[in-house]
Amino acid sequence: MPDTTGASPRDRFVAATETLLREAGMSGAGIKEVVARSGAPIGSLYHYFPRGKTQLVAEALERHAAKLPRIIERSFDDTRDAATAVQALFNDAADGFERAGADKGCAIGAVALDLTNADTEVRAMCRQAFDAWVADLAARLPGADARARRSLAVTTVAAIEGAFVLARAHGNGQPFRDVGKWMSALLEGVEAAHRPRRASARPKSRARRSTKP
Amino acid sequence: MPDTTGASPRDRFVAATETLLREAGMSGAGIKEVVARSGAPIGSLYHYFPRGKTQLVAEALERHAAKLPRIIERSFDDTRDAATAVQALFNDAADGFERAGADKGCAIGAVALDLTNADTEVRAMCRQAFDAWVADLAARLPGADARARRSLAVTTVAAIEGAFVLARAHGNGQPFRDVGKWMSALLEGVEAAHRPRRASARPKSRARRSTKP
């Protein structure tokens, strides 16, 4: 149950929807379940969310989507290469998954697999969330060019989403640790092939930087 | 819609459930939807499936789980190394995803993200399916030892499941192609580090083989 102490009824509805989506996807996030989980008065739900479940789900996904960039930021601190950062990201995900009860996946992933053709607004939210995560990661990963870094970021996001799937089935965070180890090995190989500048022993001159940004 | 021409009502219920789970997870596979999609008479459903939705879902997952080993078998033919085989596996998945309408994920993955604590039987089915796929792949992948091959197989299955998630959100198979390229690069690196016998230029003697099987 999300910590909603002191939160407004509106926030409690969104937080409850997010948790229910993480637990059981679209099938778990009916209006009745959202109201029960939120502890907020049902009378106010349609006041805050006149478009009902679609609006609730869209806002819950937006709230959920904002979390990964913070986790990425924390893992990729300046002292780490990408291989070490991604290993830390997956180990943190494993610990977080287990601390949260080993029964909560990624809300975006769960909803993406539940999309019907009618869910155009929610589908767009999922796509935007993944695109934002991919862009964020691509800027931090090694690779020959922007296209290679982007597809490597797609692979990393897919690895996170897939680890959630296996972790949910197994009821523990071990899949994150397994996947993180190999994603880290992959990145080590890519870093070795395309040496990032910071690993270079050659000092950077201001003149070089200004002609080759 | 699954091709159910000539299939028995029982098979049509299971095939319809599988398709609905692939499209929208547990939320899409209500009894009403299964009956409508199957075209079979509702009166016979509880005759064939006395335990209702749980039994239908369990049988649909069993049917779905049997498909990946056939795809793995086809990709890993004897002429290919693991890196080439996995690339082929992901490219086939991309093409298959698009041919099927770009709106169907993996039934096991979709259900795994929808599991509630009450779904013990269905959870066990998901876990068994993933374990079987991991064991199948682990026997074909390179690696230093059984544990490394197993975690590499977990990573490959997670990559497939994650590619489905991103492909569903984007409505095309490109995530499979991106992920397959990098999974293949990872396997190339692992194969280079743990050279498989068939890649060796050294001719194998019968004597050597018999002393070192």
Could you read off the pLDDT of B148-158 as tens digits, one per residue? 999 999 999 99
CATH assignment at residue B47: 1.10.10
Comparing B205 with B135, the larger pLDDT belongs to B135
Range of the domain at A152: 66-194
Judge whether A97 is closer than 8 Å to chain B, CB to CB: no
Task: Mark whether A81 and A185 lie in a shared domain.
Answer: yes
Task: Mark whether A177 and A104 lie in a shared domain.
Answer: yes
Task: Give the integer Cα–Cα distance in Å for B15 and B64.
Answer: 9
Shortest Cα distance from A111 to chain B (angstroms)? 9
- Does residue A141 fall inside a structural domain? yes
pLDDT at residue A79, as a whole number:
80
- Does residue B199 fall inside a structural domain? no
Judge whether A25 is closer than 8 Å to chain B, CB to CB: yes
Residue B200: pLDDT over 50: no
Beta strands in A9-119 (DSSP E): none
Task: Mark whether B94 and B148 lie in a shared domain.
Answer: yes
Would you place residue B197 in the very low, low, confident or very high pLDDT band (cuts 50, 70, 90)? low
Tokens at B113, concatenated: 């993200």
CA atoms within 13 A on the CB side of A173: 17
pLDDT at residue A212, as a whole number:
36
A120, A166, A179, A184, best to mutate vs chain B, most B CBs in 10 Å: A166
Q: Which of B42, B63, B84 is the last residue of a domain?
A: B63
Q: Which of B41, B63, B85 is the last residue of a domain?
A: B63
pLDDT at residue B11, as a whole number:
97
Shortest Cα distance from A186 to chain B (angstroms)? 5
- Does residue A204 fall inside a structural domain? no
Number of structural domains chain A divides into: 2
Contact B112 A27 (CB under 8 A): no
Q: Tell me: the pLDDT tens digits for B19-63?
A: 999 999 999 999 999 999 999 999 999 999 999 999 999 999 999
pLDDT at residue B104, as a whole number:
98
Contact A113 B117 (CB under 8 A): no
Q: How far is CA B159 from CA A17, A20, B152, B184, in A?
A: 27, 25, 10, 11
Task: Mark whether B58 and B84 lie in a shared domain.
Answer: no
Task: Mark whether A116 and A190 lie in a shared domain.
Answer: yes
Shortest Cα distance from A5 to chain B (angstroms)? 25
- Does residue B4 fall inside a structural domain? no
- Does residue A2 fall inside a structural domain? no
Task: Give the integer Cα–Cα distance in Å for B80 and B92.
Answer: 15
Task: Mark whether A77 and A177 lie in a shared domain.
Answer: yes
Comparing B78 with A5, the larger pLDDT belongs to B78
- The maximal CA–CA distance of chain B, rounded, in angstroms, is 67
- Does residue A3 fall inside a structural domain? no
- Does residue A135 fall inside a structural domain? yes
Residue A187: pLDDT over 90: yes
Unique residue bearing structure tokens 């006149």: A50
Q: How far is CA A183 from CA A36, A78, A84, in A?
A: 40, 19, 10
Task: Mark whether A142 and A170 lie in a shared domain.
Answer: yes
Residues 30-69 in B contacting A (C-alpha not used; CB under 8 Å): none
Task: Mark whether B54 and B74 lie in a shared domain.
Answer: no
Single pTM value for the model: 0.90
Task: Mark whether A22 and A117 lie in a shared domain.
Answer: no
Task: Mark whether A50 and A149 lie in a shared domain.
Answer: no
A190-212: buried (b, 16+ CB within 10 Å) or exposed (e) per residue?
A: bbeeeeeeeeeeeeeeeeeeeee
CATH assignment at residue B130: 1.10.357.10
Using an 8 Å Cβ cutoff, are A158 and B159 in contact?
A: yes
**Lowest model confidence (mean pLDDT) among A42-46, A200-204, A205-209:** A205-209
ipTM, 2 decimals? 0.90
Judge whether A163 is closer than 8 Å to chain B, CB to CB: yes
- Does residue B206 fall inside a structural domain? no
pLDDT at residue B77, as a whole number:
87
* Average pLDDT of every residue of chain B: 90
Q: Which of A18, A38, A60 is the last residue of a domain?
A: A60
Judge whether B71 is closer than 8 Å to chain A, CB to CB: no
A113, A170, A178, A181, best to mutate vs chain B, most B CBs in 10 Å: A113
As a whole number, mean pLDDT of residues A169-175 equals: 98
CA closest to B22 among chain A residues = A113
Task: Mark whether B120 and B78 lie in a shared domain.
Answer: yes
As a whole number, mean pLDDT of residues A95-105 equals: 97
CA closest to B102 among chain A residues = A117
Task: Mark whether B35 and B87 lie in a shared domain.
Answer: no
pLDDT at residue A197, as a whole number:
54
